[in-house]
Amino acid sequence: MNDNQKRILRLKQEHALPQEEWFALFSSWTPDDREFAAVHAKEIAQKKFGNRIYVRGLIEFSNYCKNDCLYCGIRRSNANAERYRLTEDTILECCHAGYQYGFRTFVLQSGEDGAYGPEKLIPLLKKIRQTYPDCAITLSAGEYSYETYQAFFDAGATRYLLRHETADPCHYAKLHPEKMSWEKRIQCLHDLKKAGFQTGCGFMVGSPFQTVEHLVKEMLFIHDFQPEMVGIGPFIPHKDTPFRNEKSGSVELTLFLLSLLRLQQPDLLLPATTALETLEHQGREKGILAGANVIMPNISPDDVRKKYLLYDNKFNGGLKENILDSPLRKQMQKIGYEIVIDRGDHGA
Ligand code: SF4
């Protein structure tokens, strides 16, 4: 067993590594180490969740955004983005169909759309909560004040996803316009927890300017923050952004990080993300085999799915049948897993 594999076993036992050990691991890992980590992460995930995979029905309800993140295809200044905003009725129809398919979590995701602020979102959340009392509602709509997060929670949202994108403030400044602040983003994450949300953070793997030191910071930040969910995926450039000529992030490194996150925090809700599927055939299956336990099929209407283009060639395969009759279920069964009709709460 080499030194990196000893580090991976230490992580499995202690659920933490000191900074210098992370640095050594990220500086020298090999494909063998990645496979070693995956075997142990899979073992931990199976101990915790059996062969159960949780599914979430993703509804991308608006691709308007007031922000201008340099990596994002729906950034404000991209005049080529075809903008859309689903009506409340259409969102409720998506929930209705999703419930029939077997979803018990709806993920409502959008850019930071001023026209879909709290005054519209709160009544919508209340309606969904009333109609589907047995479902979890995840919101992913960006930065708000603590009071607004509390109002979303009180209206019935149970989980919130807000990727921090990087745990390093200087790196954050290179990925975002000047008026966006890392400190504010981190404050939002703390406010979400305080409001009672199961909170998800996350970052891009291989984003421009990312270094080994940044990866070390990611693992330490996540260890300290103890989110209920973490979303990571490889960075993929979008042709209408300043990062159009940057290289995509590595699938291998993403899979390695999924395994390390599972070993660090065994009960984490960890999706095999769309970006992984976009870059790699059977990327989602590989994510599950690396320790992920969540999949988020898109249940937005067909005509808008191709417009929520955060990056080029985004995989936009939706799901439009009962999940127990779906090709997705067969794909999971082929690798020894079963998708379940369940809210899939953290700690359940
Ligand atoms: S990453 Fe999010 S906040 Fe930034 S421009 Fe894209 S949708 Fe808006």
- Domain membership of residue 116 (yes or no) is yes
- Domain membership of residue 12 (yes or no) is no
- Alpha-carbon gap, residue 274 to 289, rounded angstroms: 15
Q: What is the mean pLDDT of residues 195-219?
A: 98
Average pLDDT over the chain reads 95
Q: Which atom of ligand 1 is nearest to the CA of 66?
A: 8
Q: What pLDDT is attached to residue 321?
A: 82
Residue 193 reports pLDDT greater than 80: yes
- What is the CA(231)–ligand 1 centre distance, in A? 15
- Domain membership of residue 346 (yes or no) is no
Q: What is the mean pLDDT of residues 254-282?
A: 93
- What is the CA(330)–ligand 1 centre distance, in A? 33
For ligand 1, atom 4, name the residue with the nearest CA. Answer: 69
DSSP 8-state secondary structure symbol assigned to residue 79: T
Q: Given strand 294-295, what is the order of strands in its sheet?
A: 294-295, 52-55, 338-340
Q: Tally DSSP H helices, then E strands, for the chain.
A: 14, 9
- What is the CA(11)–ligand 1 centre distance, in A? 33
pLDDT tens across 6-24, in order?
Answer: 999 999 999 999 999 999 9
200 forms bridges with which residues in the sheet? 161, 229
Q: What is the pTM of this model?
A: 0.95
pLDDT tens across 251-264, in order?
Answer: 999 999 999 999 99
With H, G, I as helix, E, B as strand and everything else as coil, classify residue 135: coil
For 316-338, the DSSP string reads --B--S-GGGSHHHHHHHHTT-E
**pLDDT-based confidence at 273, cuts 50/70/90?**
confident
- What is the CA(16)–ligand 1 centre distance, in A? 31
Pinpoint the alpha helices (H) of the chain.
3-14, 19-28, 31-49, 88-101, 118-131, 146-154, 169-175, 182-195, 212-225, 251-264, 274-279, 283-289, 302-305, 327-334
Residue 312 reports pLDDT greater than 80: no
For ligand 1, atom 2, name the residue with the nearest CA. Answer: 111
Q: What pLDDT is attached to residue 319?
A: 75
Residue 348 reports pLDDT greater than 80: no
Q: What pLDDT is attached to residue 245?
A: 96
Q: What is the mean pLDDT of residues 31-58?
A: 96
- Mutation choice for ligand 1 from 60, 63, 65, CB with most ligand atoms inside 8 A: 65
Residue 38 reports pLDDT greater than 90: yes
Q: What angle do the packed helices 146-154 and 118-131 form, to 10 degrees?
A: 30
Q: Which atom of ligand 1 is nearest to the CA of 75?
A: 5
Q: What pLDDT is attached to residue 316?
A: 65
Q: What is the mean pLDDT of residues 221-249?
A: 96
- What is the CA(112)–ligand 1 centre distance, in A? 7
- For residues 146 and 113, is the Cβ–Cβ distance under 8 A? no
* pLDDT cut 70: percent of the chain above it: 99
What contacts 24+ positions apart, CB below 8 Å, involve 317-323? 317/277, 319/57, 319/101, 320/97, 320/101, 321/101, 322/100, 322/101, 322/102, 323/55, 323/101, 323/102, 323/103, 323/297
Q: What is the mean pLDDT of residues 72-89?
A: 95
- Domain membership of residue 11 (yes or no) is no
Q: Which atom of ligand 1 is nearest to the CA of 165?
A: 1
Q: What pLDDT is attached to residue 72?
A: 96
**Residue matched to tokens 């970052």:** 203
Q: What pLDDT is attached to residue 3?
A: 97
How many domains, the chain? 1
Residue 346 reports pLDDT greater than 90: no
Q: What pLDDT is attached to residue 274?
A: 84
- Domain membership of residue 348 (yes or no) is no
Specify the CATH number for the domain of residue 300.
3.20.20.70
Residue 70 reports pLDDT greater than 70: yes
pLDDT tens across 103-126, in order?
Answer: 999 999 999 999 999 999 999 999
With H, G, I as helix, E, B as strand and everything else as coil, classify residue 226: coil
pLDDT tens across 148-177, in order?
Answer: 999 999 999 999 999 999 999 999 999 999
Range of the domain at 150: 17-340
- What is the CA(174)–ligand 1 centre distance, in A? 15
Ligand 1 contacts (CB < 6 A) are 65, 67, 69, 72, 74-75, 111-112, 142
Residue 238 reports pLDDT greater than 90: yes
- Alpha-carbon gap, residue 295 to 274, rounded angstroms: 9
